[in-house]
Amino acid sequence: MLTDYHLHLRPDDDDAPGERYFTVENIDRYLAAAAAAGIEELGVSEHVYRFRQALDLWQHPLWVENAHDDLDEYCEFVRGTPLKLGVECDFVPGAEARTAELLERREFDYVVGSVHFIGEGDSAVDHDGFDVWEGSEDPDEIWRRYFESLAECARSGLFDILAHPDLVKIWGGARPLPQRDLRSFYEPAVEAIVAGGIAVELSTAGLRKPVGELYPARGFAELCVEAGVPFALSSDAHLPEQVGFEYDRAVEFLDSLGVDEICVFEGRERRLVPLGNRVS
Ligand SMILES: [Zn+2]
Ligand SMILES: [Zn+2]
């Protein structure tokens, strides 16, 4: 079995209302792309900040600018399609109870938990307009803050899948690497992942970014395997053409780690199924 659970129905820079993309025609394009790639399980996980309800969690300027859609209408729409229903929800420190309420009130199959913004600050590791690297040149500090937030996210118990687990590396050689051994960032994160019982996403999105690598890096993934953490497989596609993006590399990577099962979700219950092969 192959899955693609971390999918968006439109590009991030498109601020057209959701109705334009929450259509049967659009879903059919994703389904056709999945069928062509041999992916049996497809799920959609729109960014929580696209929905008005997200403003109960946080009023970040980017969220205020983007929160136009209704979360319940989205859920209802996805329920009427063959896709699993998910959402990509940021971990917002201090908003854990409100996040739990927002998620528990809806019948998601899974929730993808992510860290884009670090600490309690407004700046993000992957957004140009809110770049954490602006005015801060200390990579050890940025990586420390990112991995602390990631650990909190994993440990919170709010989410089923930990998205793009080393997103901080997104800019690749365009930003300096920390001096410290990267294992010293990974180890406490893996401890938190185990404690939180969350699955880790193997995401091919990093292959489309300046870093040109899978998330997570091999060193991180190896620690996950040693700790018995299960993987969920996704492309983080924002267009139908990106469904199953570079999955041959993802499958090969998992294979090389000795991972032969991946997670599937239904009603926020997780189960492991044998990892399949990409049809190419
Ligand atoms: Zn994300
Ligand atoms: Zn995403």
**Confidence at residue 267, expressed as pLDDT on a 0 to 100 scale:** 98
State yes or no: pLDDT of 279 exceeds 70: no
Average pLDDT rounded to a whole number, residues 203-212:
98
State yes or no: pLDDT of 280 exceeds 70: no
Confidence of residue 129 (pLDDT cuts 50, 70, 90): confident
Average pLDDT rounded to a whole number, residues 97-109:
98
Spacing, Cα 7 to ligand 2 middle (Å): 7
Spacing, Cα 121 to ligand 2 middle (Å): 20
Which residue blocks in the chain are alpha helix, DSSP H?
Answer: 24-36, 61-66, 71-79, 96-104, 139-155, 183-196, 218-226, 247-256
Q: How far is CA 229 from CA 165, 190, 196, in A?
A: 13, 8, 11
**Confidence at residue 119, expressed as pLDDT on a 0 to 100 scale:** 64
* Contact status, residue 107 vs residue 98, Cβ threshold 8 Å: no
pTM of the model: 0.97
The Cα 188–Cα 192 span in angstroms is 6
Spacing, Cα 166 to ligand 1 middle (Å): 11
**Confidence at residue 121, expressed as pLDDT on a 0 to 100 scale:** 75
Q: Give the number of the ligand closest to the Cα of residue 163.
A: 1
pLDDT > 90 fraction of the chain, expressed in percent and rounded: 90
Spacing, Cα 242 to ligand 1 middle (Å): 15
Ion ligand 1, residues whose Cβ is below 5 A away: 114
**Mean pLDDT taken over the chain:** 95
